[in-house]
Structure 1
Amino acid sequence: MTDTPKEKRGPLYSQADRDNMRWFWSNYLRKHMGKLLIVLAMILVQGVVFQQFLSMTENGLRVIFERGTLRELAMVCLAVFFLFAVRGLMSYLVPLVTVRMANQAIFEMRRDMLTHLMKLDLAYFERTKSGEIIQRIVSQTQTLGMFVGLGVANAVRDAVTVIIVSGYLIYKNPILFGTAVVVLPFIIWVMNYVSDRVKQAQGEAETAIANYMNGIEETVTGMRTVKISSQEDMEVSRLMQGTKSIRDLLNRVQITQALVMPSIDLSSAFVYVLVIGGGGYMVLRPEFDVDGAGIITFLLGMVMVFDPARLLAQFFGGLQANLVLLDRVRGLFHQTPTIADHAEALAEFDTRADITLDKVRFAYDPEQPLFDGLDLTFAGGKVSAIVGATGSGKTTILSLLSRLYDTQGGEIRIGDTPIDRLKVGSLRGAFSVVAQDIVIFNASIWDNIRYVRPDATEAEVWQAAEDADIAELIRRRGDTPVGPKGAQLSGGQKQRIAIARAFLRDAPILLLDEATSALDQATEERIKAALTRLTKGKTTIIVAHRLSSISDADRIFVLEGGRLVEDGQHDELLAENGLYAQLYKAQKRGYDGR
């Protein structure tokens, strides 16, 4: 029978931990070196105050024991009061400075995180839970800020106090101090034991919290479905499972950390017994030249050492948890965008030229390729439409055109220029998009329209609203916010906001992805003339499910399973009696039978 090998304990601070601490120092703290030196000086003053307090206390005790004068005693008391007044002032100034520095560092970190986040590819957001992103930017950075601002400053103060007071005690009685530190190896062992387990449990807890936040967001976002389906109890049960997991993991962290204090308390009691016993022996033996005042002062000094030592132990336990947070936060910066400008990318190109997909290959899943050599040409200044069953790749083509994804083979050109040789900002600036997944902010309809062009004049915003047939709704609602994600608006109203944005942006290339799918036929007819004006003279690509809405397109491309199976004008495709004709007739029967 073989013994199961024990899990090998890793180093207290891994290489990744050290790299993360250097990164945080280099990017966010080193620039405050002047203030940090001032803080360190104030902390040294606090440590010296304790040392001087011990010296004054010993002198005061000798005044009492050796029958000194009341004046001498009063002077000692005044000196002690002055020392603690100085320490009190330092105790106010140190956190005042450090908290401001930490808040500034976290402000700058969040700024860098948000800037970096905006550069990441769409694919990152599709594979990463929104709760995890929110947790990193909000709660994890805030916890780090509190730890750096107060935790580290207090730990440095405690360490300085331990060093200075210990140095004084060694100077006064090295034999007695040497006896007192015999418990140090035990304390180090306890901290190693605790640190390993805290780091592991904290990492699991952070993952559980991210999943929990994501679950809450999903529930809130889908509350309409929850209510209609009467699934409130199921959602409570699902979220409570996450709550229970977080509770159990945090219990593990806190129970493990709780081992530190009683261990140090027991160690302290052992030390005090040694000091009292050993010190008493020295007082009783004349050859040691130790008196009662010296032993009492030494005991008081040991209290001053062990109390900050306890706090230091707590700090190192908390440090392990915060190193996990720092690793999670820095992990965002490890994500690198794959869609970026080349060194010689062009800023200008012919926006009226033909758009060509030449032998394009693309797959979301390598095992299931979507496009394998797709060829399409959208004529410049004309209206092209893409139709096909769900999953045929219609919306993906629009995503590839605007480089939300890059092709995995072949190329896409505007004129003779491959789009990956254009600046991403210039390319996307040439598009106006009305998508089926409309982003509506909790602001007024006016502000939602103006979002795409913050510098637009009032007249331009009103004209876009009139063209999209939503101006009257703006007049009725005024500046009233539309609710989270536009909860107070209908699907049609949201789509008209998206159409108004396209009017306001007025870019040379127009992408309409199911632009009228949420409009009733009466509303669609009212804005059809406006859409005609919007597309006039522009290269327009329409993805449509309702085939009657694209019957006037200059060219219609029919996709099936990622392949182009038909193309032509509406009447030509009907005459061919192929897939397009089948789809059109099926829709017409559906409308007629309704």
Structure 2
Amino acid sequence: MSKDDHSASAQADTTRAALHKRKERAPLFNDQDKDNISWFWNKYLKERTPWLGLVMVMILIQGFAYQQFISLTESGLRVIFDDGSVSGLIKVCGMVLAIFSVRAVMSYWVPRLSAWLASNAVFKMRRDLIDHMMTLDLAFFERTKSGDIILRLVNQAQDLSGFIGQTTVNAVRDTVTIIAVSGYLIWKNPLLFMLVIIVMPTITIVVRRISQGIKGTQANAENAMGNYMSGIEEMTNGMRTVKISNQEPVEKARLNKATGEIRDLTIRLQKLQAMMSPTVDILAAIIYVLIIGVGGYMALSPSFEMDGAGIIGFMIGMALIFDPARRLTAFFVSMQASLIILDSLRSLYREVPTITNAPEAKEVFDPTGDIILDEVTFQYSEKHPLFRNVNMTFEGGKVTAIVGATGSGKTSVLSLIARLYDVSEGFVTIGGTAVKDLRIDKLRQSFSVVAQDIVIFNSSIYENIKYVRPDATDEEIWRAAELVGIDQLMRDRGDAPLGPKGSQLSGGQKQRIAIARAFLRSAPILLLDEATSALDQRTEERVRGAIQELSKDKTTIMVAHRLSTVTHADHIYVLDEGTVVEEGTHAQLMEQEGLYAAMFNAQRSSYG
């Protein structure tokens, strides 16, 4: 079992234990639910109060229409049985038609308005969630599965929109119907109504017990769905490896297992939900028996003012109550699932960025000055420190290289300079100003980056190069493409998309697009993280010339594993397990005959 599976299992066990402990005593809304509902109301619905009020008025009209329908039905029956007046019957029929016409108009506008209100509320919430996510640290995205983020922003947000816009409004309409019709029935015959209503508390007990089980199951189902979506993404992204290593059976087994978990949880959820309707049906049967038996006795006895029309009207009224009551119990069931979804969405807001602007962050600094790491200590986790008291200087306008074995901390240096992470101790400064004291956007605007993990979007080569500078002219974009030799491919492909993550390109072509972006951006600081690692020797020589031109008058920091690419650097740092073990020019390091010389000679002999 994987780490994620263990985590999901532990979370499910904790949820089940908490729910078992609370049992029936647990409130329908816990404190977290109340806080989430209050947050959503104040942030996204309160401003629409007038429109919500209009929806409520229309719902009240619908409830009043049902009440009048019962009254008119009784009147029509008495016209038939007692008066025998055709004109009176026509009048009653006309009034019933008018009432239902009004109700039909309300039935059209209520869902339209409620869907509009809910869709706008969820749209704003999605927008705010996206805005908030963009402020979160890189560390959040490195520890959070993308399937979980997709699940929240797509599936859960859409489910919440449907719950608010349709399910909740229907529940309010059903509640108004129950209150309006019940009020009329109490006025007509309070004794008979009180007799049949005694059975109703059973519904509350059933809802309370079932809803708690649903809440726990829904939480497990959402977790299982997130794992499933992450599994699909991992499978599709790694399909090349899957095919080459002939591991299709393993992937099928893994995804089928996740699908089975979702199936089992869905069946369990449906089983809990299915308990509602039979309970309401049995209650309905008991109540109708009471109406027929007791109401019939009242009609036969001279001691009560009850006739056949009254009994039929009463039964119609109870029928109008029971369907809304059944739907209302279903609402409370789905509400528990929606409360889990709402909490899941809001949990994104509980993620707080640690990389933030200082209270008086500076916008202006000297990006052409020296970049200095002064006594820097840093670790991704407390148990695994990476740097301790590291000192490095990258002179402004010169080319500095960082080399070392995999895992020695080369790329982490670039992350600290760009303030993707904050140092634990010490300082990182640019032109004498600590990066912590700079506005984050202004700091990062000073970099052109060719990263090791190249991001290629499913659009044209032209659009991919333009991504880093949306305001660039056609001439500037084509010039950047020509400098790295990707211009001919750009002409050949035209507007054709490159496939998910640039699947239709070779590694070298992707890297040239990344380098073209750096040319287009042309910021004063150039960060090259394994910029030519995916290029063959001939292409590398061509691109190396372009990089040298790009590096002119820029502070350039190169991270490289292939040492032949850094021999021209003005200064070279050699890292080993987070420590600077050697530094100097290529010639000086070769004379020392230390780690750098050993690595260089080993690579040169391997090229043969």
TM-score normalised by length of structure 1: 0.98
Q: Within 1, Cα distance between the matches of 2:595 and 2:305?
A: 108
Match of 1:585 in 2: 601
- Cα shift at 1:274: 1.0
Match of 1:397 in 2: 413
- Cα shift at 1:109: 1.0
Q: Within 2, Cα distance between the matches of 1:137 and 1:532?
A: 43
Match of 2:130 in 1: 114
Question: Within 5 A, what are the aligned runs for 1:126-165?
Answer: 126-165=142-181
Say if 2:76 is the partner of 1:55. no
Structure 2 counterpart of 1:8, from 22, 37, 50: 22
Q: Within 2, Cα distance between the matches of 1:248 and 1:530?
A: 58
Q: Within 2, Cα distance between the matches of 1:8 and 1:85?
A: 48
Q: Within 2, Cα distance between the matches of 1:445 and 1:214?
A: 28
Q: Within 1, Cα distance between the matches of 2:437 and 2:348?
A: 27
Q: Within 1, Cα distance between the matches of 2:27 and 2:605?
A: 71
- Cα shift at 1:8: 2.5
Match of 1:313 in 2: 329
Report the AA paired with residue 200 of structure 1: G
Structure 2 counterpart of 1:102, from 93, 118, 135: 118
Structure 2 counterpart of 1:280, from 296, 309, 314: 296
Report the AA paired with residue 404 of structure 1: L
Match of 2:369 in 1: 353
CA RMSD of aligned residues (A): 1.1
> C-alpha offsets along residues 485-514 of structure 1, whole Å, 9 cap, x if unaligned?
000000000000000000000000000000
2:471 aligned counterpart, secondary structure: coil
Structure 1 counterpart of 2:87, from 56, 71, 87: 71
Structure 1 counterpart of 2:495, from 479, 482, 489: 479
- Cα shift at 1:68: 2.6
> C-alpha offsets along residues 218-253 of structure 1, whole Å, 9 cap, x if unaligned?
000000011111111211111000000001011111
Match of 1:542 in 2: 558
Q: Within 2, Cα distance between the matches of 1:77 and 1:223?
A: 68
Report the AA paired with residue 132 of structure 1: D
- Cα shift at 1:370: 0.5
Report the AA paired with residue 328 of structure 1: S
Say if 2:224 is the partner of 1:231. no
Match of 1:383 in 2: 399
Q: Within 2, Cα distance between the matches of 1:414 and 1:577?
A: 32
Match of 1:185 in 2: 201
Question: Within 5 A, what are the aligned runs for 1:414-563?
Answer: 414-563=430-579
1:8 aligned counterpart, secondary structure: helix
> C-alpha offsets along residues 420-460 of structure 1, whole Å, 9 cap, x if unaligned?
00000011000010011000000000000000000000000
1:323 aligned counterpart, secondary structure: helix
Q: Within 2, Cα distance between the matches of 1:420 and 1:288?
A: 85
> C-alpha offsets along residues 353-403 of structure 1, whole Å, 9 cap, x if unaligned?
111111111111211100011111111111000000000000000011101
Q: Within 2, Cα distance between the matches of 1:118 and 1:435?
A: 19
Q: Within 2, Cα distance between the matches of 1:76 and 1:479?
A: 68
> C-alpha offsets along residues 517-557 of structure 1, whole Å, 9 cap, x if unaligned?
00000001112221111001100000001101100100000
Match of 2:105 in 1: 89
Match of 1:166 in 2: 182
- Cα shift at 1:415: 2.4
Say if 2:411 is the partner of 1:408. no
- Cα shift at 1:52: 0.3
Question: Within 5 A, what are the aligned runs for 1:12-27?
Answer: 12-27=28-43
Structure 1 counterpart of 2:191, from 150, 161, 175: 175
Report the more deviating stretch, 539-548 or 100-109. 100-109
- Cα shift at 1:416: 1.9
Q: Within 2, Cα distance between the matches of 1:399 and 1:180?
A: 71
Say if 2:328 is the partner of 1:328. no
Match of 1:250 in 2: 266
Report the more deviating stretch, 519-528 or 452-461. 519-528
1:348 aligned counterpart, secondary structure: coil
Match of 2:315 in 1: 299
Q: Within 2, Cα distance between the matches of 1:416 and 1:539?
A: 14
1:347 aligned counterpart, secondary structure: coil
Q: Within 2, Cα distance between the matches of 1:404 and 1:322?
A: 35
> C-alpha offsets along residues 4-62 of structure 1, whole Å, 9 cap, x if unaligned?
99632222101110111111111111111111111111100000000000110010111
Report the AA paired with residue 37 of structure 1: G
Report the more deviating stretch, 48-57 or 284-293. 284-293
Q: Within 2, Cα distance between the matches of 1:144 and 1:265?
A: 29
Structure 2 counterpart of 1:39, from 41, 52, 55: 55
Q: Within 2, Cα distance between the matches of 1:269 and 1:443?
A: 62
Q: Within 2, Cα distance between the matches of 1:252 and 1:223?
A: 33
- Cα shift at 1:411: 1.1
- Number of positions where the alignment pairs a residue of Structure 1 with one of Structure 2: 589
> C-alpha offsets along residues 100-136 of structure 1, whole Å, 9 cap, x if unaligned?
1111111111111111111110000011000000000
Report the AA paired with residue 518 of structure 1: A
Q: Within 1, Cα distance between the matches of 2:119 and 2:431?
A: 50
- Cα shift at 1:414: 1.0
Structure 2 counterpart of 1:338, from 354, 357, 360: 354
Match of 2:587 in 1: 571
Report the more deviating stretch, 6-15 or 440-449. 6-15
- Cα shift at 1:257: 0.7
- Cα shift at 1:67: 3.2
Q: Within 1, Cα distance between the matches of 2:138 and 2:101?
A: 58
1:66 aligned counterpart, secondary structure: helix
Report the AA paired with residue 221 of structure 1: N
2:557 aligned counterpart, secondary structure: strand
Match of 1:267 in 2: 283
Q: Within 1, Cα distance between the matches of 2:38 and 2:305?
A: 50
Gaps of 5+ in 2: 1-16
1:363 aligned counterpart, secondary structure: strand
Q: Within 2, Cα distance between the matches of 1:154 and 1:294?
A: 29
1:369 aligned counterpart, secondary structure: strand
Q: Within 2, Cα distance between the matches of 1:93 and 1:12?
A: 31
Gaps of 5+ in 1: none
1:55 aligned counterpart, secondary structure: helix
What percent identity do the matched residue pairs reach? 55
Q: Within 2, Cα distance between the matches of 1:582 and 1:418?
A: 36
Q: Within 2, Cα distance between the matches of 1:202 and 1:507?
A: 49
Match of 2:236 in 1: 220
Instruction: List 4+ stretches of structure 1 deviating above 6 A.
Output: none
Report the AA paired with residue 400 of structure 1: L
> C-alpha offsets along residues 294-331 of structure 1, whole Å, 9 cap, x if unaligned?
11100110011111010000011000000100000111
- Cα shift at 1:170: 0.3
2:397 aligned counterpart, secondary structure: coil
2:306 aligned counterpart, secondary structure: coil
